[in-house]
Amino acid sequence: MMMSESRYEKYFSYLLKNEFAFLCAKEDLGCFPPLNLSWESSSKIDSIIIDINECSNYDYANITNDISRLRSKVIQLRIFSIKGKKDIADIISIFSKTDTKSLEVIFPNKEGVNVEFIKEIIDNNSKVTSLFITGSPNKEPSDYKQATVRYTADKITNESSCGIISKAYFVCHLNTFCESQNFNTCLNKKISIDINGNIKNCPSRTQSFGNIRNMTIKEAMEHPDFKKLWGISKDQIDVCKDCEFRHMCTDCRDYIKDPQNIYSQPTKCNYNPYIAKWEGEEGYVSVEECGTYSREKGYVVDDEKVNVLNLELWGS
């Protein structure tokens, strides 16, 4: 859809007013070389997800050395269910001894999980940078020492809670933007250990590369399929490749609309980039109403219908 001259003027006026752009003389353009979008990481693995519930019976302490050898920047510990607050504290203490810069912990609200308990966790574990308490009365996020503490009334009881695409999870950071150009920001340089000890790319995926009880993470990473999905960028994924938010979005390659098409759009995305509307906003329609899916061609936009919808929503 072509924009009228007045809409162009409004668009550039908005960019200038909000300091997203500025005017300069043509002869000064050489002072602004293209941004270097290359991305590298010195770590074999950048982040690890470890899922635990009351039935998990692999040896946590035994795998910390294995994890430390990877020199992962972030470990996310997701405790879905546990007997009591002492068990929570003990597990956090074990994983805080790993060689990582940041330990993020998600755990359920239990009797005795109060401000004093939270402060004690942070005081005793200097690598804890984030605590996310589920099944709790909603409170405003708070900071204590090196950590941010957040609460949600939602109960996160298993791995199916992941894969949600939301503005709240956008990462506005140059590193993520550069990584997203050629890699999948959900799976690239990431590994997980599910509640049963299975080593996977993501806890929700069915494919396992071995079990932590009898295999090291390094051995699992030698499987030929282990890195297969790392290079699927947002510019290759149906619908996502047309979305203005694609390089700040974390994606999901497990919960997708067509499980037989690895380039399919995430199922849990409720944004329509063709009309710039989120589900729940006035005028929203799903992407299914703006085009068609096929196994051969993937998603094909109906340009004529999209033009009509945008005229109705936004005018000429």
Residue 230 domain-assigned? no
Question: How many residues in the chain?
Answer: 316
Q: Are residues 75 and 130 in the same domain?
A: yes
Global pTM reads 0.86
Structurally, the chain folds into a number of domains equal to 2
Round to whole Å and give the CA distance between 219 and 209: 9
pLDDT in tens, 13-33: 999 999 999 999 999 999 999
pLDDT per residue as tens digits for the range 261-293 = 999 999 999 999 999 999 999 999 999 999 998
pLDDT > 70 in the chain, percent:
98
**Residues 259 and 195 reside in one and the same domain:** no
What is the full DSSP assignment across 222-261?
TSTTTTTTTT--GGGSTTGGG-TTGGG----SSSBS-TT-
* 74 and 214 both lie in a single domain: yes
> What's the chain's average pLDDT?
92
Q: Which domain holds residue 266?
A: 247-314
Residue 2's pLDDT is what?
A: 53
